[in-house]
Amino acid sequence: MKKILLVPDSFKGTMSSTEICSIMEGVIRKFYPEAEIIGIPVADGGEGSVDAFLSALGGEKKFATVQGPFGDKMKSFFGILKDGTAVIEMASCAGLPLAGNEKNPCLTTTYGAGELIGAALEAGCGKVILGIGGSATNDGGCGAAAALGVKFFDKDGNSFVPVGGTLHRIEKIDKTGLDERLKKTELVTMCDIDNPLCGENGAAYIFGPQKGADVKMVKLLDEGLRHLAEVVKRDFSVDIAETPGAGAAGGMGYGMKVFLNSTIQMGIETVLDTVNFDGLLKDADCVFSGEGKIDSQSLRGKVVIGIAKRTKKAKVPLIALVGAIDDGIDAAYDCGVTAIYCINRKASDYSRTEFCAKTNLAFTMENILRFGKAMRGELR
């Protein structure tokens, strides 16, 4: 093998994508010391996205003081890649861990994410990639829009910044004050789910409970999002509530599109386009990828399958190393995955396997490479 690409997602709670790349490369060097190895750490738009992009492409991490999930001031960050593209992870200022034990999607805001976009504009970035995974919010992206100049009014004509629990109070929306610099800025929202804004498969019903919402609150949140969509449709003749991804991050996908005119794109597609993956594939001999678990959800466009669709076109083998393999994933092979290996050597629950994941990954990589060399008659 002369050229090998490493494009793994993280094994959440166990190994970051950067660590996985390092382990894979270390094992490959034992068998193919002269090979060109290109590591492309991948993040799904949630925590770690900025570091993954900076690790893959180089650049600089910038810091800014913005509002946290409950409106308190906090220190957050974003990345600026070498080509001037800004990468922001919403989780850095509106992430679920930041809510601590006070999870309440009726009260949390995306305002800080809007402030980070503003900081990127101030830094002169002509393109902004926003990852919206791992949020604590359900405000339809209204907070972020407000931070960038959109005004929301109640029935008495008072301006306010809506949160999940007050979306129903929106009577009028005014976008005339939106930051003019956005007109010259390409916005891309990384999104790995295809849920609509409202309804049984929408933001509140599917993701509200994990953000702290009980049954009664879920209903309130869903009604608020539905009301927001009705006002937007009435005032701007825009109806995208059913668009796949509109329900991501408590409706942040919807808000980024209707207020800021952002493109909504699968996270893995954004990463692969940004690193010019198709170009790197042209003379590659093999690609290694992986994620914590491959299951039916993976088949809807997660990391491994997103990569497989491209390797299949390029006729390059793709080997996936995963922490667990669920039933019903045969379609992965049709999508372009050559082989899938589970790294766990013993049938143990996560509380045990998490501590030996790195050695298990290295062991599995070594066995795959040993087999490959044996098939070529290179192993003696």
Please report the DSSP string for 38-93 in residue order: EE-----SSTTHHHHHHHHH-EEEEEEEEE-TTS-EEEEEEEEETTSEEEEETHHH
Euclidean distance between CA atoms 17 and 28, whole angstroms? 16
Please, which pLDDT band fits residue 373 given cuts at 50, 70 and 90?
low
pTM summary value: 0.85
- Pick 112 or 46 by higher pLDDT: 112
**Residue indicated by tokens 């997602």:** 9
- Pick 12 or 238 by higher pLDDT: 238
Give the pLDDT confidence of 345-365 residue by residue, as tens digits. Answer: 665 555 556 667 888 888 788
Give the pLDDT confidence of 224-269 residue by residue, as tens digits. Answer: 999 999 999 999 999 999 999 999 999 999 999 999 999 999 888 8
Domain map of the chain by residue range?
3-38+276-375, 49-268
Euclidean distance between CA atoms 135 and 247, whole angstroms? 12
Cβ proximity of 99 and 212 under 8 Å: yes
- The average confidence (pLDDT) of the chain is 91
Least-confidence region, from 15-19, 185-189, 305-309: 15-19
* Among the four given CATH numbers 3.30.479.30, 3.90.1510.10, 3.20.19.10, 3.30.200.20, the one describing domain 49-268: 3.90.1510.10
Token reading at 273: 């386009």
**At the top level of CATH, which class does the domain 3-38+276-375 belong to?**
alpha beta
